[in-house]
Amino acid sequence: MAFRFWCGECGFKTAWLAESEGAQRQLEHYAKHHPGIPAGGHVETNRKNPERNSGCLRAVGVLVLLLILTAAYRY
């Protein structure tokens, strides 16, 4: 999944990243721009493309289906 972390103190937001990388970027932002303030804000989940690898999974699924159909029609 892809996540975007928003700062609770200003308008900063991360790019769409993996959860751990986004959290790290948010912590770095707080350390640089809001020292002494605990990291806050909110996290947004990418609802348009929640699975970055879904296109690959679909392609593998189609290939497996084609292999099964080919094997079924050979015999």
Distance of CA 5 to the CA centre of its chain: 11
Q: What is the mean pLDDT of each run of 10 residues along the chain (75 residues)?
A: 92 93 94 92 82 64 81 73
Instruction: Please tell me the distance from the alpha carbon of residue 12 to that of residue 15, in angstroms, as a whole number.
Output: 10
Q: What is the pTM of this model?
A: 0.61
Q: Which residue has the tokens 């296109």?
A: 55
DSSP 44: E
